[in-house]
Amino acid sequence: MTWETVIGLEVHTQLATKTKIFSGASTEFGAAPNTQACAIDLAMPGTLPVLNAEAVRMAVMFGVAIDAEIGLISSFDRKNYFYPDLPKGYQTTQLDRPIVLAGTVDIQLGDGSTKTVRIHHAHLEEDAGKSLHEDFHGMSGIDLNRAGTPLIEIVSEPDMNSPEEAVAFAKKLHALVVSIGICDGEMAQGSMRFDVNVSVRKKGEELGTRTETKNLNSFRFMERAIVQEVERQIDLIEDGGKVKQETRLYDGDTHTARSMRSKEEANDYRYFPCPDLLPVEVDQAYVDAVRATLPELPEARRARFVDSFGLSAYDASVLCDEPSTAAYFETVASHCGDAKLAANWVTGELAARLNSEEQLIQHCPVSAEQLAALIARIIDKTISNKMAREVFTAMWGGEGEPDAIIEARGLKQVSDSGAIEGMVDTVIANSTKQVDNYRNADEAKRPKMLGYFVGQIMKASKGQANPQQVNEVLLKKLEALL
């Protein structure tokens, strides 16, 4: 029996405006609790919201980036519920007339194919504050710094059929909103949060009952949550049960989800049009003007990396997943002049180090210019790849510029042909048995036997001989003995 998974995403994306969506308070992350909440954010009596034009621009920017129709007249509604992190007792959001209408996002699948995920709409709304449950002796603290931070909630159609597709879509959205400058993309700070709608069905059947899992703030959590939920639903059905429509809450600490409320217990939000805000009207000229400021999108960048840098589609894709990585790579490539080597370093050594140190490329201790300078020393044969890795580690540790490290550690590669010839001669002279074997071996087996000699020469040079030169000289000398 084959099951098909159907996944739709709702993505809460914080917009990178300086001030809040309806007030002049700062949206900066990390300030002391409640220092960035003004009278409006605190819902003091008599205060009124005024829409931040920059939030509108950013939402429209997202719309044109996914080739969506823009809601030329959009409007705000009140979603009513009581919660301490929601000061007004309602969230101001867009229900019937969102600012961004249907659009599409293409994702690349593992097999190299492309899939189009439809976006149902994206709407503007305000973020809530945060409840803090630690250090309050059984009580809860409320931090309203985040209250009123502008969000766009991006709602996809249920077009994804596996956790991998969902993650690819989420990463694609992430790359997109960061590259067009409307979101800082800091997942750990909650700048992008996912709710996933999951259902399963047997191939060809009607859509199954879906559940919504909330509060996923990393790609990894999202993937795990979907995998678990799909398994849970299939097990349930195969055991003769039925999936209940419900909202589930994922706990990132225990990696488990639990039912938060069933459909029957769902809140009645009593939406109605917000009388404090006029409908938002934008005209086509405004939309066109925003479109004109659209920077290069990840998709176009990927194509350019293949075309003008000669990268493989895979490398280009990996680099463009994360706009900061793509930008970093471009700087390295342009400074060192060898795009392929730059790509190898950025997707290899650098990515591995960032990963193991759980560091974001934005905060990478080795700048793109420094990495380029290091790669330049590989290109001009000053150091070998292996030495470069050592230098890189030193640079990561804050030891400074690559040239200074090479100098200080005496890592200069020996490329002096006289010195190399001398070392080759010595090794050949001391290895009569191996030379005899070499001479007597089949021609086809000989290249494999070179390793021993190279190893001895590198040992003699303390690893500093240029391996390529060693190979050339050694081969020449051994050929002469045949």
Partner 1 sequence: MHNLTLAELSAGLIAGKFSSVEVTQHFLARIQRLDGNYNSFITITEERALAQAAAADKLLAAGNAPALCGVPIAHKDIFCTDGVRTSCGSKMLDNFVPPYNATVVENLAAAGVVVLGKTNMDEFAMGSSNETSYYGPVKNPWNTDCVPGGSSGGSAAAVAARLTPAATATDTGGSIRQPAALCGISGLKPTYGRVSRWGMIAFASSLDQGGPMARSAEDLALMLNQMAGFDRRDSTSIEQEVPDYCAGLQQDIAGMTIGVPAEYFGEGLNPAIEQATRDALAELEKQGAKLKTISLPHSHLSVPAYYVIAPAEASANLSRFDGSRYGYRCENPVDLRDMYMRSRSEGFGEEVKRRILIGAYCLSAGYYDAYYNKAMQVRRLIKEDFVSAFKDVDMIAGPTCANPAFAFGAKSDDPVAMYLEDIYTIATNLAGLPGMSLPCGLVDDKPVGLQLIGNYFDEGGMLNVAHRYQQVSDWHSRCAPGID
* Contact footprint for partner 1 (CB under 8 A): 39, 42-51, 78, 80, 82, 84, 87-90, 140, 142, 268, 270-272, 275-278
DSSP, res 127: P
Least gap, CB of 288 to partner 1 (angstroms): 26
Q: Which is nearer to partner 1, 51 or 102 (CB)?
A: 51
Least gap, CB of 83 to partner 1 (angstroms): 9
Q: Which is nearer to partner 1, 47 or 245 (CB)?
A: 47
Q: Which is nearer to partner 1, 72 or 95 (CB)?
A: 95
Q: Which helix (H) or strand (E) holds 220?
A: helix 219-238
Q: Is the dihedral of CA 297, 299, 303, 308 positive or negative?
A: positive
Rounded to whole angstroms, how far apart are CA atoms 458 and 102?
62
Q: Which is nearer to partner 1, 80 or 471 (CB)?
A: 80
What residue has token string 């249920």?
158
Q: CB neighbours of 67 closer than 8 A, spacing ≥ 6?
A: 103, 104
For helices 284-292 and 53-65, give the axis angle rounded to 10 degrees: 70
Q: From the centroid of its chain, how far is CA 456?
A: 44
Least gap, CB of 155 to partner 1 (angstroms): 20
What residue has token string 């045949």?
482
Q: Coil, strand, or helix at residue 416?
A: coil
Q: Which helix (H) or strand (E) holds 428?
A: helix 417-429
Rounded to whole angstroms, how far apart are CA atoms 203 and 159?
14
Rounded to whole angstroms, how far apart are CA atoms 329 and 349?
13
Q: Which is nearer to partner 1, 275 or 398 (CB)?
A: 275
Least gap, CB of 89 to partner 1 (angstroms): 2
Q: Which is nearer to partner 1, 140 or 417 (CB)?
A: 140
Least gap, CB of 146 to partner 1 (angstroms): 15
Least gap, CB of 5 to partner 1 (angstroms): 30
